Protein backbone atom coordinates (compact mmCIF):
# COMPACT_ATOMS: atom_id res chain seq x y z
CA UNK A 1 0.00 0.00 0.00
CA UNK A 2 1.27 3.43 -0.78
CA UNK A 3 0.25 6.99 -1.50
CA UNK A 4 1.11 9.30 -4.37
CA UNK A 5 1.55 13.04 -3.93
CA UNK A 6 1.65 15.23 -7.04
CA UNK A 7 4.26 17.98 -6.81
CA UNK A 8 4.41 21.29 -8.63
CA UNK A 9 7.62 23.18 -9.27
CA UNK A 10 8.22 26.79 -10.15
CA UNK A 11 11.38 28.79 -10.73
CA UNK A 12 12.25 28.58 -7.03
CA UNK A 13 11.81 24.82 -6.65
CA UNK A 14 8.98 22.67 -5.34
CA UNK A 15 6.14 25.01 -4.39
CA UNK A 16 5.34 25.55 -0.70
CA UNK A 17 1.77 24.29 -1.36
CA UNK A 18 3.16 21.02 -2.71
CA UNK A 19 5.42 20.57 0.32
CA UNK A 20 2.38 21.05 2.55
CA UNK A 21 0.42 18.51 0.53
CA UNK A 22 3.33 16.12 0.98
CA UNK A 23 3.33 16.69 4.75
CA UNK A 24 -0.42 16.10 4.73
CA UNK A 25 -0.02 12.79 2.87
CA UNK A 26 2.76 11.69 5.20
CA UNK A 27 0.63 12.49 8.24
CA UNK A 28 -2.36 10.43 7.10
CA UNK A 29 -2.58 7.68 9.69
CA UNK A 30 -2.57 4.42 7.83
CA UNK A 31 -1.34 0.89 8.06
CA UNK A 32 2.27 0.37 9.00
CA UNK A 33 4.41 0.15 5.91
CA UNK A 34 2.52 2.81 4.02
CA UNK A 35 4.76 5.30 2.35
CA UNK A 36 4.42 8.40 0.27
CA UNK A 37 5.88 8.64 -3.21
CA UNK A 38 6.34 12.20 -4.44
CA UNK A 39 5.57 12.52 -8.15
CA UNK A 40 7.05 14.99 -10.63
CA UNK A 41 5.66 14.90 -14.18
CA UNK A 42 7.12 16.05 -17.50
CA UNK A 43 9.68 18.85 -17.65
CA UNK A 44 9.10 19.62 -13.98
CA UNK A 45 11.07 16.41 -13.33
CA UNK A 46 14.12 17.68 -15.26
CA UNK A 47 17.27 17.56 -13.18
CA UNK A 48 15.39 16.28 -10.12
CA UNK A 49 17.22 12.94 -9.97
CA UNK A 50 20.61 14.58 -9.45
CA UNK A 51 19.32 17.30 -7.12
CA UNK A 52 20.39 16.19 -3.64
CA UNK A 53 18.95 19.31 -2.00
CA UNK A 54 15.57 18.60 -3.56
CA UNK A 55 15.69 15.01 -2.34
CA UNK A 56 16.50 16.15 1.18
CA UNK A 57 13.69 18.72 1.08
CA UNK A 58 11.15 16.11 -0.03
CA UNK A 59 12.36 13.59 2.52
CA UNK A 60 12.09 16.24 5.23
CA UNK A 61 8.46 16.81 4.20
CA UNK A 62 7.72 13.10 4.48
CA UNK A 63 8.44 11.54 1.09
CA UNK A 64 9.86 8.01 1.11
CA UNK A 65 10.54 7.97 -2.63
CA UNK A 66 10.46 10.19 -5.68
CA UNK A 67 8.97 9.14 -9.00
CA UNK A 68 9.88 11.00 -12.19
CA UNK A 69 7.31 10.61 -14.97
CA UNK A 70 8.02 11.26 -18.63
CA UNK A 71 6.34 10.59 -21.97
CA UNK A 72 6.88 11.27 -25.65
CA UNK A 73 5.42 14.61 -26.55
CA UNK A 74 5.00 15.78 -22.97
CA UNK A 75 6.82 19.09 -23.06
CA UNK A 76 4.93 21.20 -20.57
CA UNK A 77 2.00 21.29 -18.22
CA UNK A 78 -0.80 19.21 -19.77
CA UNK A 79 -3.62 18.52 -17.28
CA UNK A 80 -5.04 15.36 -18.83
CA UNK A 81 -1.57 13.88 -19.42
CA UNK A 82 -0.67 14.57 -15.79
CA UNK A 83 -3.88 12.84 -14.68
CA UNK A 84 -3.02 9.85 -16.92
CA UNK A 85 0.40 9.70 -15.25
CA UNK A 86 -1.21 9.43 -11.81
CA UNK A 87 -3.80 6.93 -13.10
CA UNK A 88 -1.17 4.61 -14.59
CA UNK A 89 1.18 4.98 -11.62
CA UNK A 90 -1.65 4.09 -9.24
CA UNK A 91 -2.52 1.06 -11.36
CA UNK A 92 1.10 -0.08 -11.46
CA UNK A 93 1.39 -0.46 -7.69
CA UNK A 94 -0.72 -0.97 -4.63
CA UNK A 95 -1.73 2.68 -4.37
CA UNK A 96 -4.65 3.63 -2.12
CA UNK A 97 -4.46 7.44 -2.01
CA UNK A 98 -3.56 10.19 -4.47
CA UNK A 99 -3.00 13.66 -3.01
CA UNK A 100 -2.43 17.08 -4.58
CA UNK A 101 -2.46 20.63 -3.26
CA UNK A 102 -5.75 22.40 -3.99
CA UNK A 103 -4.08 24.85 -6.37
CA UNK A 104 -5.37 25.58 -9.88
CA UNK A 105 -3.18 22.79 -11.25
CA UNK A 106 -3.70 20.32 -8.42
CA UNK A 107 -7.49 20.76 -8.41
CA UNK A 108 -7.55 20.51 -12.20
CA UNK A 109 -5.40 17.36 -12.47
CA UNK A 110 -7.36 15.54 -9.76
CA UNK A 111 -10.68 16.57 -11.34
CA UNK A 112 -9.48 14.99 -14.61
CA UNK A 113 -8.29 11.92 -12.71
CA UNK A 114 -11.71 11.65 -11.09
CA UNK A 115 -13.39 11.98 -14.48
CA UNK A 116 -11.08 9.41 -16.13
CA UNK A 117 -11.52 6.84 -13.36
CA UNK A 118 -15.15 7.65 -12.53
CA UNK A 119 -14.14 8.04 -8.88
CA UNK A 120 -15.18 10.79 -6.46
CA UNK A 121 -12.74 13.55 -5.50
CA UNK A 122 -12.71 15.06 -2.02
CA UNK A 123 -11.65 18.67 -2.58
CA UNK A 124 -9.98 20.98 -0.05
CA UNK A 125 -9.38 18.40 2.66
CA UNK A 126 -8.01 19.25 6.08
CA UNK A 127 -7.73 15.65 7.26
CA UNK A 128 -8.35 12.10 6.09
CA UNK A 129 -8.51 9.06 8.36
CA UNK A 130 -9.10 5.48 7.20
CA UNK A 131 -12.09 3.74 8.75
CA UNK A 132 -12.28 0.07 9.70
CA UNK A 133 -14.67 -0.49 6.79
CA UNK A 134 -12.16 0.54 4.15
CA UNK A 135 -13.59 4.06 3.70
CA UNK A 136 -12.05 7.41 4.53
CA UNK A 137 -13.43 9.86 7.06
CA UNK A 138 -12.51 13.26 5.64
CA UNK A 139 -12.88 16.81 6.86
CA UNK A 140 -13.06 19.28 4.01
CA UNK A 141 -13.77 22.95 3.48
CA UNK A 142 -17.04 24.33 2.23
CA UNK A 143 -17.66 28.01 1.58
CA UNK A 144 -13.85 28.35 1.24
CA UNK A 145 -13.39 27.30 4.86
CA UNK A 146 -16.24 29.23 6.52
CA UNK A 147 -17.91 25.83 7.03
CA UNK A 148 -16.27 22.43 7.53
CA UNK A 149 -17.83 19.27 6.18
CA UNK A 150 -17.42 15.82 7.71
CA UNK A 151 -17.80 13.27 4.95
CA UNK A 152 -17.34 9.63 4.20
CA UNK A 153 -15.33 8.83 1.08
CA UNK A 154 -15.99 5.40 -0.34
CA UNK A 155 -13.66 4.56 -3.22
CA UNK A 156 -10.99 1.97 -4.03
CA UNK A 157 -8.62 4.85 -4.71
CA UNK A 158 -9.02 7.97 -2.55
CA UNK A 159 -8.50 11.17 -4.55
CA UNK A 160 -7.85 14.14 -2.27
CA UNK A 161 -6.91 17.76 -2.76
CA UNK A 162 -5.51 19.52 0.30
CA UNK A 163 -6.53 23.00 1.51
CA UNK A 164 -2.89 23.98 1.85
CA UNK A 165 -3.78 27.61 2.71
CA UNK A 166 -5.23 26.34 5.97
CA UNK A 167 -2.59 23.75 6.87
CA UNK A 168 0.69 24.73 8.46
CA UNK A 169 3.87 23.22 7.03
CA UNK A 170 5.02 20.68 9.62
CA UNK A 171 8.50 19.27 9.45
CA UNK A 172 8.31 15.48 9.30
CA UNK A 173 9.91 13.88 12.40
CA UNK A 174 13.45 12.91 11.46
CA UNK A 175 13.23 9.41 12.95
CA UNK A 176 9.86 8.60 11.38
CA UNK A 177 11.12 8.08 7.89
CA UNK A 178 14.01 5.77 7.03
CA UNK A 179 14.78 7.84 3.98
CA UNK A 180 14.42 11.15 5.81
CA UNK A 181 16.96 13.46 7.35
CA UNK A 182 17.46 11.00 10.20
CA UNK A 183 19.79 9.29 7.77
CA UNK A 184 21.48 12.22 6.15
CA UNK A 185 23.63 9.96 4.00
CA UNK A 186 20.68 8.03 2.51
CA UNK A 187 19.54 9.61 -0.74
CA UNK A 188 15.81 9.62 -1.53
CA UNK A 189 15.15 6.60 -3.77
CA UNK A 190 14.31 7.77 -7.28
CA UNK A 191 12.20 5.80 -9.70
CA UNK A 192 11.37 6.55 -13.34
CA UNK A 193 8.06 5.90 -15.00
CA UNK A 194 6.95 6.30 -18.60
CA UNK A 195 3.29 7.14 -19.10
CA UNK A 196 1.45 5.95 -22.21
CA UNK A 197 -0.46 8.82 -23.79
CA UNK A 198 -2.91 9.27 -26.65
CA UNK A 199 -2.88 12.39 -28.80
CA UNK A 200 -6.12 13.46 -27.06
CA UNK A 201 -4.28 13.58 -23.73
CA UNK A 202 -2.01 16.30 -25.11
CA UNK A 203 -4.61 18.54 -26.78
CA UNK A 204 -4.50 20.88 -23.80
CA UNK A 205 -1.02 22.00 -22.92
CA UNK A 206 0.21 25.29 -21.47
CA UNK A 207 1.69 27.08 -24.48
CA UNK A 208 3.15 30.05 -22.76
CA UNK A 209 3.99 31.34 -19.34
CA UNK A 210 4.67 35.06 -19.34
CA UNK A 211 5.78 36.83 -16.22
CA UNK A 212 3.67 39.73 -15.10
CA UNK A 213 5.08 43.14 -14.24
CA UNK A 214 6.77 43.25 -10.82
CA UNK A 215 5.34 44.40 -7.51
CA UNK A 216 4.87 42.40 -4.35
CA UNK A 217 2.62 39.38 -4.87
CA UNK A 218 -0.53 39.62 -2.79
CA UNK A 219 -0.59 35.90 -2.03
CA UNK A 220 2.88 35.89 -0.51
CA UNK A 221 3.12 39.46 0.86
CA UNK A 222 4.35 39.76 4.45
CA UNK A 223 2.08 42.76 5.00
CA UNK A 224 -1.27 43.32 3.32
CA UNK A 225 -3.03 46.68 3.60
CA UNK A 226 -6.69 46.00 2.90
CA UNK A 227 -9.19 48.52 1.60
CA UNK A 228 -12.95 48.09 1.63
CA UNK A 229 -16.10 50.08 1.04
CA UNK A 230 -14.96 52.49 3.74
CA UNK A 231 -12.23 53.78 1.43
CA UNK A 232 -15.08 55.61 -0.30
CA UNK A 233 -14.02 55.52 -3.94
CA UNK A 234 -11.23 54.94 -6.43
CA UNK A 235 -9.36 58.05 -5.27
CA UNK A 236 -9.02 56.80 -1.71
CA UNK A 237 -6.49 54.08 -2.50
CA UNK A 238 -3.39 56.20 -3.10
CA UNK A 239 -2.70 56.61 0.65
CA UNK A 240 -3.18 52.85 1.16
CA UNK A 241 -0.75 52.11 -1.68
CA UNK A 242 1.73 54.50 -0.09
CA UNK A 243 1.36 52.79 3.29
CA UNK A 244 1.71 49.32 1.75
CA UNK A 245 4.80 50.39 -0.14
CA UNK A 246 6.29 51.87 3.05
CA UNK A 247 5.71 48.56 4.86
CA UNK A 248 7.05 46.51 1.93
CA UNK A 249 3.63 44.98 1.41
CA UNK A 250 0.75 44.87 -1.04
CA UNK A 251 -2.74 46.34 -1.20
CA UNK A 252 -5.68 43.92 -1.08
CA UNK A 253 -9.31 44.89 -1.43
CA UNK A 254 -12.77 43.52 -0.68
CA UNK A 255 -15.22 42.35 -3.30
CA UNK A 256 -17.34 45.48 -3.27
CA UNK A 257 -14.27 47.46 -4.31
CA UNK A 258 -13.67 45.34 -7.41
CA UNK A 259 -17.34 45.00 -8.33
CA UNK A 260 -17.60 48.82 -8.22
CA UNK A 261 -14.62 48.94 -10.54
CA UNK A 262 -12.58 51.00 -8.05
CA UNK A 263 -9.66 48.54 -8.22
CA UNK A 264 -8.74 45.59 -10.49
CA UNK A 265 -9.89 42.11 -9.50
CA UNK A 266 -6.35 40.82 -9.06
CA UNK A 267 -6.23 42.83 -5.82
CA UNK A 268 -9.31 41.11 -4.39
CA UNK A 269 -8.87 39.13 -1.19
CA UNK A 270 -11.47 36.49 -0.36
CA UNK A 271 -13.31 33.39 -1.43
CA UNK A 272 -13.37 34.34 -5.11
CA UNK A 273 -10.12 36.30 -5.04
CA UNK A 274 -6.68 35.73 -3.59
CA UNK A 275 -6.05 33.92 -0.31
CA UNK A 276 -3.45 35.74 1.74
CA UNK A 277 -1.22 34.61 4.60
CA UNK A 278 0.68 37.69 5.79
CA UNK A 279 2.28 38.41 9.14
CA UNK A 280 -0.03 41.45 9.35
CA UNK A 281 -3.33 42.18 7.65
CA UNK A 282 -4.17 45.86 8.18
CA UNK A 283 -7.86 45.94 7.24
CA UNK A 284 -8.97 49.49 6.46
CA UNK A 285 -12.67 50.24 6.06
CA UNK A 286 -13.43 46.53 5.76
CA UNK A 287 -16.56 45.22 7.49
CA UNK A 288 -15.40 41.60 7.58
CA UNK A 289 -17.95 39.67 5.51
CA UNK A 290 -17.61 35.88 5.64
CA UNK A 291 -16.52 35.63 2.01
CA UNK A 292 -13.77 38.19 2.59
CA UNK A 293 -12.52 36.62 5.81
CA UNK A 294 -12.34 33.23 4.05
CA UNK A 295 -9.38 34.70 2.15
CA UNK A 296 -7.65 35.81 5.37
CA UNK A 297 -7.61 32.53 7.33
CA UNK A 298 -3.83 32.43 6.93
CA UNK A 299 -3.20 35.94 8.33
CA UNK A 300 -1.18 35.75 11.55
CA UNK A 301 -2.30 39.12 12.93
CA UNK A 302 -5.18 41.38 11.96
CA UNK A 303 -5.42 45.08 12.79
CA UNK A 304 -8.68 46.78 11.80
CA UNK A 305 -9.26 50.45 11.15
CA UNK A 306 -12.93 51.27 10.89
CA UNK A 307 -15.43 53.95 11.82
CA UNK A 308 -17.87 51.29 13.04
CA UNK A 309 -16.89 49.74 16.39
CA UNK A 310 -19.51 47.02 15.87
CA UNK A 311 -18.34 45.82 12.44
CA UNK A 312 -17.91 42.00 12.25
CA UNK A 313 -14.17 42.48 11.61
CA UNK A 314 -13.83 43.49 15.28
CA UNK A 315 -14.37 39.89 16.37
CA UNK A 316 -11.63 38.70 14.00
CA UNK A 317 -9.00 41.37 14.62
CA UNK A 318 -6.31 41.47 17.31
CA UNK A 319 -6.29 45.27 17.47
CA UNK A 320 -8.59 47.99 16.23
CA UNK A 321 -8.57 51.73 15.77
CA UNK A 322 -11.89 53.54 15.44
CA UNK A 323 -11.12 56.22 12.92
CA UNK A 324 -11.79 57.85 9.58
CA UNK A 325 -9.36 56.54 6.97
CA UNK A 326 -8.97 59.93 5.30
CA UNK A 327 -7.48 61.29 8.54
CA UNK A 328 -5.61 58.40 10.04
CA UNK A 329 -3.81 56.86 7.05
CA UNK A 330 -1.87 60.03 6.11
CA UNK A 331 -1.09 60.54 9.82
CA UNK A 332 0.12 56.95 10.14
CA UNK A 333 2.30 57.25 7.03
CA UNK A 334 3.81 60.47 8.37
CA UNK A 335 4.42 58.92 11.80
CA UNK A 336 6.17 55.90 10.30
CA UNK A 337 8.33 58.12 8.08
CA UNK A 338 9.26 60.48 10.90
CA UNK A 339 10.02 57.72 13.34
CA UNK A 340 13.34 57.79 15.17
CA UNK A 341 14.99 54.74 16.65
CA UNK B 1 -25.52 33.89 7.41
CA UNK B 2 -26.14 36.40 10.14
CA UNK B 3 -23.75 39.03 11.45
CA UNK B 4 -20.70 37.73 9.63
CA UNK B 5 -21.05 34.12 10.78
CA UNK B 6 -22.55 31.08 9.11
CA UNK B 7 -25.58 29.61 10.89
CA UNK B 8 -26.31 25.90 10.55
CA UNK B 9 -29.60 24.06 10.83
CA UNK B 10 -30.32 22.40 14.20
CA UNK B 11 -29.32 18.95 12.93
CA UNK B 12 -25.96 20.22 11.66
CA UNK B 13 -26.64 18.89 8.18
CA UNK B 14 -27.03 22.11 6.27
CA UNK B 15 -26.60 25.86 6.23
CA UNK B 16 -29.66 27.64 7.62
CA UNK B 17 -30.87 29.71 4.68
CA UNK B 18 -34.15 30.92 6.16
CA UNK B 19 -32.68 34.41 6.63
CA UNK B 20 -30.82 34.43 3.34
CA UNK B 21 -31.56 35.43 -0.21
CA UNK B 22 -30.16 33.45 -3.11
CA UNK B 23 -28.04 34.86 -5.88
CA UNK B 24 -25.92 33.47 -8.68
CA UNK B 25 -22.38 32.87 -7.41
CA UNK B 26 -19.66 35.26 -8.60
CA UNK B 27 -17.79 32.78 -10.84
CA UNK B 28 -21.01 31.72 -12.58
CA UNK B 29 -22.25 35.28 -13.05
CA UNK B 30 -18.93 36.07 -14.74
CA UNK B 31 -19.32 32.96 -16.92
CA UNK B 32 -22.70 34.25 -18.13
CA UNK B 33 -21.32 37.73 -18.75
CA UNK B 34 -18.43 36.24 -20.72
CA UNK B 35 -20.82 34.15 -22.82
CA UNK B 36 -22.99 37.20 -23.58
CA UNK B 37 -19.91 39.19 -24.60
CA UNK B 38 -18.71 36.39 -26.88
CA UNK B 39 -22.08 36.22 -28.66
CA UNK B 40 -22.16 40.01 -28.99
CA UNK B 41 -18.79 39.76 -30.69
CA UNK B 42 -19.18 36.59 -32.74
CA UNK B 43 -22.93 35.99 -32.97
CA UNK B 44 -24.85 33.01 -31.64
CA UNK B 45 -27.01 32.55 -28.58
CA UNK B 46 -26.46 31.97 -24.87
CA UNK B 47 -28.34 29.26 -23.02
CA UNK B 48 -28.12 29.40 -19.21
CA UNK B 49 -28.57 26.16 -17.30
CA UNK B 50 -28.69 25.42 -13.60
CA UNK B 51 -29.41 22.44 -11.42
CA UNK B 52 -31.56 23.16 -8.40
CA UNK B 53 -35.03 23.40 -6.89
CA UNK B 54 -37.91 25.13 -8.75
CA UNK B 55 -37.04 28.45 -7.05
CA UNK B 56 -33.76 28.52 -8.97
CA UNK B 57 -35.85 29.74 -11.92
CA UNK B 58 -35.43 33.21 -10.39
CA UNK B 59 -31.66 33.04 -10.82
CA UNK B 60 -32.10 31.86 -14.42
CA UNK B 61 -34.28 34.93 -15.07
CA UNK B 62 -31.59 37.16 -13.50
CA UNK B 63 -29.14 35.78 -16.06
CA UNK B 64 -31.62 36.13 -18.94
CA UNK B 65 -31.83 39.79 -17.92
CA UNK B 66 -28.05 40.08 -18.40
CA UNK B 67 -28.50 39.06 -22.04
CA UNK B 68 -28.77 35.27 -22.12
CA UNK B 69 -31.31 33.99 -24.63
CA UNK B 70 -32.68 30.77 -23.18
CA UNK B 71 -32.98 29.17 -19.73
CA UNK B 72 -32.89 25.52 -18.72
CA UNK B 73 -33.64 24.25 -15.21
CA UNK B 74 -32.51 20.78 -14.19
CA UNK B 75 -35.04 20.46 -11.42
CA UNK B 76 -34.10 18.67 -8.20
CA UNK B 77 -36.08 17.63 -5.18
CA UNK B 78 -33.96 19.22 -2.47
CA UNK B 79 -31.45 16.40 -2.11
CA UNK B 80 -27.80 17.40 -2.37
CA UNK B 81 -26.31 16.53 -5.73
CA UNK B 82 -22.62 15.64 -5.69
CA UNK B 83 -20.27 16.66 -8.50
CA UNK B 84 -20.49 13.26 -10.24
CA UNK B 85 -24.31 13.35 -10.41
CA UNK B 86 -24.35 17.05 -11.31
CA UNK B 87 -21.89 16.62 -14.19
CA UNK B 88 -23.75 13.55 -15.48
CA UNK B 89 -27.05 15.47 -15.46
CA UNK B 90 -25.53 18.46 -17.29
CA UNK B 91 -23.85 16.29 -19.93
CA UNK B 92 -27.09 14.38 -20.46
CA UNK B 93 -29.09 17.61 -20.78
CA UNK B 94 -26.63 19.05 -23.31
CA UNK B 95 -27.08 15.91 -25.37
CA UNK B 96 -30.86 16.03 -25.03
CA UNK B 97 -31.19 19.69 -25.92
CA UNK B 98 -29.20 19.17 -29.16
CA UNK B 99 -29.93 22.49 -30.76
CA UNK B 100 -28.01 24.69 -30.64
CA UNK B 101 -24.94 22.51 -30.55
CA UNK B 102 -23.17 24.55 -27.84
CA UNK B 103 -19.65 24.93 -29.26
CA UNK B 104 -18.59 26.42 -25.92
CA UNK B 105 -19.70 25.38 -22.44
CA UNK B 106 -18.70 27.86 -19.74
CA UNK B 107 -18.99 26.93 -16.07
CA UNK B 108 -17.94 28.58 -12.81
CA UNK B 109 -14.63 27.30 -11.47
CA UNK B 110 -16.06 25.97 -8.24
CA UNK B 111 -19.40 26.07 -6.47
CA UNK B 112 -19.39 28.77 -3.81
CA UNK B 113 -20.96 26.43 -1.27
CA UNK B 114 -19.76 22.86 -1.85
CA UNK B 115 -16.52 23.80 -3.64
CA UNK B 116 -15.91 20.55 -5.52
CA UNK B 117 -13.76 22.03 -8.35
CA UNK B 118 -14.65 19.24 -10.79
CA UNK B 119 -17.96 19.61 -12.63
CA UNK B 120 -16.33 21.23 -15.70
CA UNK B 121 -13.71 18.48 -16.29
CA UNK B 122 -16.29 15.74 -15.63
CA UNK B 123 -18.73 17.22 -18.18
CA UNK B 124 -15.83 17.59 -20.65
CA UNK B 125 -14.75 13.95 -20.32
CA UNK B 126 -18.32 12.71 -20.71
CA UNK B 127 -18.76 14.76 -23.89
CA UNK B 128 -15.24 14.04 -25.16
CA UNK B 129 -14.27 17.72 -25.21
CA UNK B 130 -11.08 19.48 -24.15
CA UNK B 131 -11.27 21.51 -20.94
CA UNK B 132 -9.32 24.11 -19.01
CA UNK B 133 -10.14 25.49 -15.56
CA UNK B 134 -9.49 28.60 -13.46
CA UNK B 135 -9.56 30.87 -16.53
CA UNK B 136 -9.43 34.65 -16.11
CA UNK B 137 -8.96 35.72 -19.75
CA UNK B 138 -10.62 34.27 -22.83
CA UNK B 139 -10.21 35.22 -26.49
CA UNK B 140 -12.05 33.68 -29.40
CA UNK B 141 -10.37 33.45 -32.79
CA UNK B 142 -12.20 31.44 -35.41
CA UNK B 143 -12.71 27.87 -34.24
CA UNK B 144 -10.17 28.17 -31.42
CA UNK B 145 -9.89 29.75 -27.99
CA UNK B 146 -6.98 31.28 -26.19
CA UNK B 147 -7.44 31.02 -22.43
CA UNK B 148 -5.20 32.32 -19.66
CA UNK B 149 -5.02 32.07 -15.90
CA UNK B 150 -2.67 33.33 -13.23
CA UNK B 151 -0.08 31.10 -11.64
CA UNK B 152 1.71 33.11 -8.98
CA UNK B 153 3.17 36.09 -10.84
CA UNK B 154 2.96 34.24 -14.16
CA UNK B 155 0.25 33.97 -16.82
CA UNK B 156 -0.35 30.42 -17.98
CA UNK B 157 -1.86 30.34 -21.49
CA UNK B 158 -3.75 27.49 -23.20
CA UNK B 159 -5.08 27.09 -26.72
CA UNK B 160 -8.23 25.02 -27.21
CA UNK B 161 -10.05 23.83 -30.30
CA UNK B 162 -13.85 24.15 -30.22
CA UNK B 163 -16.09 22.58 -29.06
CA UNK B 164 -14.69 22.93 -25.54
CA UNK B 165 -15.49 23.30 -21.85
CA UNK B 166 -13.95 26.21 -19.92
CA UNK B 167 -14.34 26.95 -16.23
CA UNK B 168 -13.86 30.60 -15.36
CA UNK B 169 -13.17 32.65 -12.28
CA UNK B 170 -14.46 35.98 -11.07
CA UNK B 171 -12.26 38.75 -12.45
CA UNK B 172 -12.47 37.57 -16.06
CA UNK B 173 -14.87 40.49 -16.53
CA UNK B 174 -17.05 42.89 -14.59
CA UNK B 175 -20.66 41.74 -15.10
CA UNK B 176 -23.07 44.38 -16.35
CA UNK B 177 -26.21 45.46 -14.54
CA UNK B 178 -29.38 44.13 -16.16
CA UNK B 179 -31.14 46.65 -18.37
CA UNK B 180 -34.86 47.39 -17.97
CA UNK B 181 -35.73 45.84 -21.37
CA UNK B 182 -33.57 42.88 -20.37
CA UNK B 183 -35.57 42.43 -17.17
CA UNK B 184 -38.88 42.63 -18.99
CA UNK B 185 -37.73 40.10 -21.57
CA UNK B 186 -36.46 37.78 -18.82
CA UNK B 187 -39.79 37.94 -17.02
CA UNK B 188 -41.65 36.62 -20.05
CA UNK B 189 -39.06 34.12 -21.22
CA UNK B 190 -39.98 30.47 -21.19
CA UNK B 191 -37.76 28.22 -19.07
CA UNK B 192 -37.19 24.65 -20.21
CA UNK B 193 -37.50 22.24 -17.25
CA UNK B 194 -35.84 18.82 -17.24
CA UNK B 195 -35.85 16.37 -14.35
CA UNK B 196 -32.62 14.38 -14.30
CA UNK B 197 -32.20 11.33 -12.11
CA UNK B 198 -30.27 11.67 -8.87
CA UNK B 199 -27.42 9.29 -8.23
CA UNK B 200 -25.35 8.77 -5.09
CA UNK B 201 -21.80 10.07 -4.91
CA UNK B 202 -18.87 8.16 -3.42
CA UNK B 203 -18.33 11.19 -1.18
CA UNK B 204 -21.16 11.48 1.33
CA UNK B 205 -21.63 14.36 3.76
CA UNK B 206 -22.19 13.23 7.34
CA UNK B 207 -22.39 16.66 8.94
CA UNK B 208 -21.35 20.31 8.86
CA UNK B 209 -19.53 22.41 11.42
CA UNK B 210 -18.66 26.05 11.73
CA UNK B 211 -14.97 26.14 12.65
CA UNK B 212 -14.31 27.59 16.08
CA UNK B 213 -12.00 30.21 14.60
CA UNK B 214 -10.54 33.00 16.64
CA UNK B 215 -13.18 34.11 19.13
CA UNK B 216 -11.19 37.17 20.00
CA UNK B 217 -12.48 40.68 20.40
CA UNK B 218 -10.15 43.32 19.05
CA UNK B 219 -8.30 45.41 21.59
CA UNK B 220 -9.23 48.98 20.70
CA UNK B 221 -6.09 51.10 20.59
CA UNK B 222 -8.00 54.39 20.42
CA UNK B 223 -10.02 56.72 18.31
CA UNK B 224 -8.94 59.00 15.48
CA UNK B 225 -5.41 60.25 14.93
CA UNK B 226 -4.71 60.14 18.67
CA UNK B 227 -4.33 56.37 18.25
CA UNK B 228 -1.44 56.71 15.78
CA UNK B 229 1.42 56.39 18.32
CA UNK B 230 -0.09 53.19 19.76
CA UNK B 231 -0.70 51.86 16.27
CA UNK B 232 2.92 52.49 15.31
CA UNK B 233 4.04 50.74 18.50
CA UNK B 234 1.91 47.68 17.65
CA UNK B 235 3.26 47.57 14.10
CA UNK B 236 6.76 47.70 15.60
CA UNK B 237 5.97 44.80 17.95
CA UNK B 238 4.72 42.79 14.99
CA UNK B 239 8.02 43.44 13.26
CA UNK B 240 6.58 44.96 10.11
CA UNK B 241 8.01 48.49 10.28
CA UNK B 242 10.81 49.56 7.95
CA UNK B 243 14.09 50.73 9.45
CA UNK B 244 13.78 54.22 10.88
CA UNK B 245 14.50 57.00 8.42
CA UNK B 246 16.66 59.00 10.76
CA UNK B 247 19.05 58.08 13.56
CA UNK B 248 18.01 58.40 17.16
CA UNK B 249 18.93 61.49 19.13
CA UNK B 250 22.36 63.01 18.62
CA UNK B 251 25.34 61.00 17.48
CA UNK B 252 28.61 61.42 15.64
CA UNK B 253 28.12 62.97 12.21
CA UNK B 254 27.27 60.36 9.58
CA UNK B 255 26.37 57.64 12.08
CA UNK B 256 22.97 57.20 10.51
CA UNK B 257 24.13 57.14 6.93
CA UNK B 258 23.55 53.41 6.59
CA UNK B 259 19.87 53.57 7.37
CA UNK B 260 17.86 53.00 4.22
CA UNK B 261 15.48 55.74 3.21
Say what the ipTM of the complex is. Answer: 0.86
Contacts of B261 in chain A (CB under 8 A): none
Q: Hey, are the CB atoms on A209 and B154 less than 8 Å from each other?
A: yes
Q: Mean pLDDT throughout A310-336?
A: 95
Of the listed ranges A29-43, B99-113, B175-189, B216-230, the least confidently predicted one is A29-43
Distance CA A317, CA A91 (A): 48
| This prediction's pTM | 0.86
Listed in order, strand segments (DSSP E) in chain A are 2-6, 9-10, 13-14, 35-41, 65-70, 95-101, 121-130, 136-142, 147-153, 158-162, 190-194, 206-211, 223-227, 250-253, 280-284, 301-306, 319-322
Please name which of A281, A240, A245 lies closest in space to residue A257, comparing C-alpha atoms.
Answer: A240
Which of A246, A247, A318 is facing B218, going by the closest CB pair? A318
Return the CATH number of A223-337, one of 3.40.50.1220, 3.20.20.70, 3.40.50.2300, 3.40.50.2000: 3.40.50.1220
Domains delineated in chain B: 26-174+186-194 (3.40.50.620)
**Three-class secondary structure of residue A219 per DSSP:** coil
Q: Mean pLDDT throughout A141-150?
A: 89
Distance CA B49, CA B96 (A): 13
pLDDT in tens, B16-74: 877 777 889 999 999 999 999 999 999 999 999 999 999 999 999 999 999 999 999 99
Superfamily of domain A2-202: HUPs (3.40.50.620)
Q: Mean pLDDT throughout B79-106?
A: 90
Q: Which pLDDT score, from 0 to 100, does residue A324 have?
A: 96
Q: What is the DSSP letter of B10?
A: T
Q: Is the pLDDT of residue B182 over 90?
A: yes
Q: Hey, are the CB atoms on B122 and A111 less than 8 Å from each other?
A: yes
Q: Hey, are the CB atoms on A123 and B118 less than 8 Å from each other?
A: yes
The reply to whether domains A2-202 and A223-337 share a CATH topology is yes
Spans of all domains in chain A: 2-202, 223-337
Q: What is the mean pLDDT of chain B?
A: 88
Q: Mean pLDDT throughout A250-265?
A: 94
Nearest CA of chain B to the CA of A133: how many Å? 14
Q: Which pLDDT score, from 0 to 100, does residue B4 have?
A: 60
Q: Is the pLDDT of residue A341 over 70?
A: no
Q: How confident is the model at residue B251 (pLDDT cuts 50, 70, 90)?
A: very low
pLDDT in tens, A87-122: 999 999 889 999 999 999 999 999 999 999 999 999
Of the listed ranges A71-80, B40-49, B87-96, B144-153, the least confidently predicted one is B144-153
Chain A 34-73, residues with CB within 8 Å of chain B CB atoms: none
Helical (H) or strand (E) element with B145: strand B144-151
Q: Is the pLDDT of residue A29 over 90?
A: no
* Higher-confidence position of A182 and A205: A205
Amino acid sequence: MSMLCLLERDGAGVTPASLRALSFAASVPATVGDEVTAVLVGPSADGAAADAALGAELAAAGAAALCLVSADGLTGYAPVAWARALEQLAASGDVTVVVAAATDRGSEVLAHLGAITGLPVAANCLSAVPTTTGCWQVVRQRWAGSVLEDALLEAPLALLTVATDAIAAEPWPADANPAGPGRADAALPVRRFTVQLDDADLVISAVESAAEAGGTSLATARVVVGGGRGVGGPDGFAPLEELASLLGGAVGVSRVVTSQGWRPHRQQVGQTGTKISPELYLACGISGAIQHMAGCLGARHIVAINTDPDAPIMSRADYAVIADLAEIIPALVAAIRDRRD
Amino acid sequence: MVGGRVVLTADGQDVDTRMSGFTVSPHEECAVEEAVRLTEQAGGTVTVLTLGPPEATEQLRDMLALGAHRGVLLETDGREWGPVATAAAIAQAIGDLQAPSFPLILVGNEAADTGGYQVGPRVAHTLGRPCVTGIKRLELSGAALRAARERGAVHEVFELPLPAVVSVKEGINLPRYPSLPGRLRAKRAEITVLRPRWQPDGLRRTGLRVPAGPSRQAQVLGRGVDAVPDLVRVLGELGVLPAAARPAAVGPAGAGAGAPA
